[in-house]
Amino acid sequence: MTRPLSPVAPRPARQGPHDPVAWEDVRWALLTPVLGPLADRSPDVAIALLGAVDEAVAAGRAQWRRRR
């Protein structure tokens, strides 16, 4: 007699390195805990840091696209 297989939920599809990730989602998830307290004290500095992060990500994406 064989044992019945227990139902196992399928694994979620893993995102590969070539699958795009929504930067808006990642940016807010990662930067909100860091910039939140800073934005309370100095909103101009928080906005400048956020702009610098966006520029760095754009430069990284451009470099990655050139390599493809």
d(CA 34, CA 23): 17
The pLDDT of residue 50: 83
| Residue 6 belongs to some domain of the structure | no
Rounded distance between C-alpha atoms, residue 32 and residue 54, angstroms: 14
Within-domain flag for 9: no
Q: Mean pLDDT across the stretch 21-37?
A: 73
Confirm whether 13 is domain-assigned.
no
Tens digits of residue pLDDT in 44-62: 888 888 888 889 888 988 9
Give the pLDDT score at 10. Answer: 64
Q: In the prediction, which pLDDT does 21 show? A: 62
**Structural domains of the chain, count:** 1
Burial of 14-34, coded b for 16+ CB within 10 Å and e otherwise, reads: eeeeeeeeeeeeeeeeebeee
**Residue 4, domain member (yes or no):** no
pLDDT of residue 46: 83
In a domain? residue 1:
no
Domain assignment present for 32: yes
**What tokens appear for 64 in the block?**
């990655």
What is the residue range of 29's domain?
Answer: 23-67
